[in-house]
Amino acid sequence: MSVVESVNIAVVRTDPWTGRLGRSGIDKRPAAGPVRFAADGVAGDAVFDRDHHGAWFQAAYAFDVEELRHWSERTGLDLVPGNAGENLTLSGVDSSAAVIGERWRIGGAVLRVTGPRTPCRVFAGFWDVPGLIKRFTEHGRTGAYLAVEQPGEITAGDPVRVLSRPAHGVAVADVFAFRARGRRELAGHVAAGLDDLPPRWRAEIAKLLPAATAADGTP
């Protein structure tokens, strides 16, 4: 069964790894009760780097508890829900395989999958793992950013129900592989999902497509 293992909100950190902003909300901890998800974000959460986070298509971030276990085994860390900076820790959901534009009902909210998370220095600093950005990128299972289509409260234990899934089949991991891992052979496939990407990311992908399709020999 696909369920919410934990709903997490930020504890503000001011550690040296927070960089130029001096503050970060990447350290998220499980909430004791229902948390409201809205178009402008998650109640009680904190976002400081508005250049890279907190847009409407990044209103929430989901990561799989199975992936936390994977990274615990490979880093020696005891990673728990919220440690990847996720608002929703999911069980029985492969969020990296979710299709761009896929819609979920969780609790009283409807969420839409918008794209992959890109690992950054703050993430690497929070875990204090050398080479984490490269390792996370090579692994390619990033979790999913979400837009909120219908605001509502979500609680740990809520089931995750898929309401709709676009036929193009372009997964979060496909977009990340094309954009961040240089998998240019995916150009034709990823192009099919452009309309379901947020405008900013759609433009970034569209710029890469002509050269990628030429190199791949795709007509």
- pLDDT digit string (tens) for 195-219? 999 999 999 999 999 877 665 555 4
The string of DSSP codes covering 148-166 is EEE-EEE-TT-BEEEEE--
Fold topology of 3-216: M1 Pyruvate Kinase; Domain 3 (2.40.33)
Least confident segment among 8-22, 39-53, 57-71: 39-53
Q: In this structure, what DSSP letter does residue 93 have?
A: -
Residue 182 has pLDDT above 80, yes or no: yes
Q: Confidence band (pLDDT; 50, 70, 90) for 70?
A: very high
Residue spans of the domains in the chain: they are 3-216
The per-residue pLDDT for 217 is 55
pLDDT digits (tens, 9 = 90+) for 116-156: 999 999 999 999 999 999 999 999 999 999 999 999 999 99
pLDDT in the model for residue 53 = 81
Give the pLDDT score at 50: 78
Two structure tokens written together for 55: 């847009």
Assess whether pLDDT exceeds 90 at residue 1: no
Place of tokens 């994977």: 70
End-to-end CA, the chain: 42
Torsion of CA 79, 83, 84, 87, to 10 degrees: 130
Prediction pTM value:
0.94
Q: Which residues contact 208 (CB under 8 A, 6 or more apart)?
A: 178, 179, 184, 187
The tokens describing 216, both together, are: 């791949």
Reading across the β-sheet that carries 41-42, which strands appear in turn?
A: 41-42, 35-38, 152-154
Number of Cα atoms under 13 Å in the Cβ half of residue 89: 22
pLDDT tens-digit series, residues 86-100: 999 999 999 999 999
User: What mean pLDDT do residues 160-187 have?
Assistant: 97
Take residue 178 and report the two structure tokens written for it. 């094309």
Task: Judge contact between 6 and 85, C-beta under 8 A.
Answer: no
Vertex 153: Cα angle to 64 and 106 (nearest 5): 45
∠ Cα 169 206 51 (to 5°):
100
Position 77 pLDDT exceeds 80? yes
Angle between helices 132-139 and 65-75 (to 10 degrees): 130
Number of neighbours of residue 63 by Cβ within 10 angstroms: 28
